[in-house]
Amino acid sequence: MANNSNISRHLPFGEKRDSRFYGQHILTVAQFDKTDLATIFEVAQEMRAMVQRVGSFDLLKGKVLTNLFYEPSTRTSSSFAAAMQRLGGSVIQINNVQFSSVSKGESLPDTIRTLEAYSDAIVLRHPERGSADTAARYARKPIINAGDGPGEHPTQALLDTFTIREELGQLDGLTVTLVGDLKHGRTVHSLVQLLALHNVRLNYVSPESLRLPAALQAQLAAAGVEQRQQPDLAAVLPETDVLYVTRVQKERFTDMAEYERIQGSYVINAALLRSARERMIVMHPLPRVGEIDMEVDNDPRAAYFRQMEYGMFVRMALLALVLGKA
Amino acid sequence: MANNSNISRHLPFGEKRDSRFYGQHILTVAQFDKTDLATIFEVAQEMRAMVQRVGSFDLLKGKVLTNLFYEPSTRTSSSFAAAMQRLGGSVIQINNVQFSSVSKGESLPDTIRTLEAYSDAIVLRHPERGSADTAARYARKPIINAGDGPGEHPTQALLDTFTIREELGQLDGLTVTLVGDLKHGRTVHSLVQLLALHNVRLNYVSPESLRLPAALQAQLAAAGVEQRQQPDLAAVLPETDVLYVTRVQKERFTDMAEYERIQGSYVINAALLRSARERMIVMHPLPRVGEIDMEVDNDPRAAYFRQMEYGMFVRMALLALVLGKA
Amino acid sequence: MANNSNISRHLPFGEKRDSRFYGQHILTVAQFDKTDLATIFEVAQEMRAMVQRVGSFDLLKGKVLTNLFYEPSTRTSSSFAAAMQRLGGSVIQINNVQFSSVSKGESLPDTIRTLEAYSDAIVLRHPERGSADTAARYARKPIINAGDGPGEHPTQALLDTFTIREELGQLDGLTVTLVGDLKHGRTVHSLVQLLALHNVRLNYVSPESLRLPAALQAQLAAAGVEQRQQPDLAAVLPETDVLYVTRVQKERFTDMAEYERIQGSYVINAALLRSARERMIVMHPLPRVGEIDMEVDNDPRAAYFRQMEYGMFVRMALLALVLGKA
């Protein structure tokens, strides 16, 4: 893992353990190499096994996590809260920061330095790109980036990658087809960077106006990733191992007829999946708004609800790792 | 208990215990028979004894409850949170769902399937009738209905019934006088159905326009319950064992003079209670807004604050039962 | 400690311990004498040592604290939540009471009597002066005043005093310079009353219109405290042991030019601190909005972030004391 060189390694409460993760921030997918992923996923697998066997355990008993959400994200904050609580730790939940005392004109660094006085780690969701880096620059305790506006959402990319691994056994050799709005989604942008660490082929199915940014495509090409624009979802489905569906947001369009046409053309339903492999998975970061028909939910290839559970295991792993208890 | 036939019994985290309650939803008072009530109340009594002796204990240690509130209800959500925490479990509190990510157009089934990935049970408060049933249809984890709009509020009815039993020893043979708005309150509608399982007499004191719905009266009559409309509260008070007072909401009236007259005529005060039995109780689901004068609070017959505590014991019992730990 | 004579000592859950603090409310700094402060600070020091050694411990395991905030104060509520959780207890967090069911016209006494049915102590933040006293008058469980409008904020004053003691060893003999808005801040008003229990000298640096209220100055004079208005911050800095900076709020001014002039004249920066002692501290209740330049943050004399941590230790001490576990 690229060392977060700007932070001093903090030794909370007398612990002396060290590792590549202990005391580190989780800010971007770019900080991880393949060895890091292997470590995270190995711990996440242990978490999965332990949750399924006993539900929870006291690995982080006595530790306090602050969930600092400058914009609402119930899904992500609940996932981290459950992860911390299943490890025996406790959570300070801070929502709607815009209405709270920490926002009486207070700077993010001051808020972070206040809250780290109370807590052992801070999960930060913030609408501005770069805010997690700013927080990390001032923090003595680990900062976990839970989305910084159009920037990064590294734990989502980790859970997506973990899902593929758990569902299909390995990543190398897979064909991943990404569908929908590939231009704006930080989820997709973070995910493809982790996929690029593996030997995968990527198909992009999106309208002209919502393509994966050229700079990101160039970066992936430089990393040797095989990428193809695919005009037709149905045509590419039979070769697809992972179908990653994202939401096409109405507000990205000025022409509503164009929106309706595009949105309708990407709906995943049972009929479409008849041409897909038997061993493949359909993923979605959720929430979905019509991109995947509910009739698909009972198809064993529908992995999007299991994806939520994998997310909790990955976040348990990250919390245990940065707090030196994995 | 009428089996929630639409759910598969879920065996979380390797447990194998079974019972009439384990893994079941709590959706409606109609699912309970007298044996179920006896079980719930027996466990609630144990909870009461344990809380009074030691405050809390680790029966549900490691379990995670999600409190999913689509509309605010501090009283109910705090009661469930305290219940879970006094059993050693932890709580994910989700308020103001309308502002949160789970509501970005997401359907209730999707929200439920996401949150059950993190939690062992879900308490749901939702403004729409039938929402708890919908949630239960998709959930693998137990759903506890904490109020679905004008529909049901079964845990309130259980705590009301438990309060009567704990305060007066038994329900059979009692005269229960219900005062106020008997038309709109789901609390009253749920309560009378549980009372109907016992040998009670019911008096209704309410304005013409706020009477108990005819269909419900017919259902109770069919169950053999003796019911009487009572024009005069003072006249019926001497024979009353349980005086159950509800709020008459201003917004139900178009004629404000009518509202003032009615609201004033149902105020319970010390003078009125002079004609009541020595051994009877005054109940109210709270919040009250003038229906019971504060001077009554110190009367030992005023049971409405104790009612809150009984509520916590009943919810502890329900959580322990559906999670297979009672 | 002046006994809260209006409350009956409550013996929760079978405990029989007694002391000057057990079961008592924390309402005002006026209730403490020097012996009380010594007790609180001794326990707070133990908390500090224990947190630094092991992070948390199970002193209040099974106890439930309700954080009842009628107005937002993330800083204070997070501090109490962390304090309770580091003692092994759990927290029911109630924010935005104005939108919640407890506020459907419900009186504060009713809300308190409802919530104490679930909890072992209640922390109350309320916009109206005297609300904590009202709550305490009806409560059987300890009420901790976390700010009642323009009234008191006793735990802030305790943590400020504890900070001085921990940073400088003792309070007697110190010169404390208070800067900014000394008229409106309940923080300052509470603090000077605790300082008055010690042999300190007070300097006041504030615009004419924002001076410490005359009645409070008279009270301090009667207690034998040496007080001086100081027109020039720079002049008084060399003799200052504790520089306590507060925010000058724009909304207190009608003349914006006057505001800019005053606000600018009180900014603490590195240049100014060059004339200060080597062994002195700069404090601020936070949030700051420009009163202290960020360049000061790395100066070892900048104590305002450590102040946050001392706050958690003091609140841990208070919770342990009123719950009879210190």
Is the CB of C12 less than 8 angstroms away from the CB of B55? yes
B100 touches A at CB < 8 Å: yes
Q: In this complex, which of B72, B78, B289 lies closest to C99 when CB atoms are compared? A: B72
Q: Which chains lie within 8 Å of chain C at 3 or more CB pairs, if any?
A: A, B
pLDDT tens digits along C28-83: 999 999 999 999 999 999 999 999 998 888 999 999 999 999 988 899 999 999 99
pLDDT value at position A4? Answer: 47
On the question of pLDDT at A103 being above 60, the answer is no
- What number is the average pLDDT over the span B222-234? 96
pTM: 0.93
Task: Please give the structure tokens belonging to residue C279.
Answer: 């062994």
Best residue in A75, A84, A309 for a mutation probing chain B (most B CBs within 10 Å):
A75
Number of helices (H) and strands (E) in chain C: give both, helices first: 11, 9
Q: ipTM score here?
A: 0.92
Using a CB-CB cut-off of 8 Å, the residues of chain B touching A312 are 117-118
- H or E stretch at A283: strand A281-283
The beta-carbon neighbor of C102 closest among B54, B85, B287 is B287
CB contact under 8 A, C93 and B93: yes
- Chain C contact for B6 (CB, 8 A cutoff): no
Chain C, residues 107-146, CB within 8 A of chain A, namely: none
C149 in contact with chain B, both atoms CB, cutoff 8 A: no
pLDDT given for residue C289 in this prediction: 85
Residue B11 contacts A where some CB pair is shorter than 8 Å: no
Q: Which residues of A touch B119 (CB under 8 A)?
A: 82
Average pLDDT, chain A: 91
Taking CA–CA distances from C63, the nearest residue in chain B reads B55
DSSP string computed for C238-269: GG-SEEEE----GGG-S-HHHHHHHHHHT-B-
pLDDT at B13: 42
Interface probe with A: pick from B61, B67, B90, B120, most Cβ of A within 10 Å: B90
More confident residue, A134 or B254: A134
Among B64, B68, B119, B325, pick the best mutation site for testing chain A contact (most A Cβ within 10 A): B64
Which whole number is the average pLDDT over A52-67?
Answer: 93
- CB atoms C104 and B287 under 8 Å: yes
Contact C85 A93 (CB under 8 A): no
Closest chain B residue to A88 measured between Cα atoms?
Answer: B62
pLDDT of residue B98: 61
Any chain C CB within 8 A of the CB of A16? no
Task: Using an 8 Å CB-CB cutoff, list chain B residues near C109.
Answer: 294
Residue B28 has pLDDT above 90, yes or no: yes
pLDDT of B182: 94
| pLDDT, tens digit (0-9, with 9 covering 90-100), for A186-216 | 899 999 999 999 999 999 999 888 999 999 9
Name the minimum distance, in Å, from the CA of B29 to any CA of chain C.
Answer: 23
pLDDT at C242 over 50: yes
A45 touches chain B (CB under 8 A): no
User: pLDDT band at residue A99, thresholds of 50, 70 and 90?
Assistant: low
Give per-residue pLDDT as tens, C133-144: 999 999 999 999
Give B297 to chain C, closest Cα distance, Å: 10
**Which of B54-58, B89-93, C8-12, C204-208 has the least mean pLDDT?**
C8-12
pLDDT tens-digit series, residues A224-250: 999 999 999 999 999 999 999 998 877
- Closest partner CB to A101 (pick from C88, C287, C305): C287
Tell me which of B96, B100, B107 to substitute to probe the interface with A (most A C-beta atoms closer than 10 Å): B100
When pLDDT is averaged across residues B111-123 and rounded to a whole number, the result is: 97
Beta bridge partners of A124: A68, A145
**Residue by residue, what is the 3-state secondary structure of chain B?**
CCCCCCCCCCCHHHCCCCCCCCCCCECCHHHCCHHHHHHHHHHHHHHHHHHHHHCCCCCCCCCEEEEEECCCCHHHHHHHHHHHHHCCCEEEEECCHHHCHHHCCCCHHHHHHHHCCCCCEEEEEECCCCHHHHHHHHCCCCEEEEEECCCCCHHHHHHHHHHHHHHHCCCCCCEEEEECCCCCCHHHHHHHHHHCCCCCEEEEECCHHHCCCHHHHHHHHHCCCEEEECCCHHHHHHHCCEEEECCCCHHHCCCHHHHHHHHHHCCECHHHHCCCCCCCEEECCCCCCCCECHHHCCCCCECHHHHHHHHHHHHHHHHHHHCCCC
Q: Are C312 and A117 inside 8 Å of each other by CB?
A: yes
Q: Is B72 on the interface with A (CB under 8 A)?
A: no
- Residue among B67, B79, B85, B123 with most chain C CBs within 10 A, to mutate: B85
For residue C279, the distance in angstroms to the closest alpha carbon of chain B comes to 45
Across the interface, whether the CB atoms of C62 and B86 are under 8 A apart is answered yes
Give the pLDDT confidence of B245-290 residue by residue, as tens digits: 998 877 777 888 888 877 777 899 999 999 999 999 999 999 998 8
Cβ <8 Å between A308 and B94: no
**pLDDT, position A14:** 41
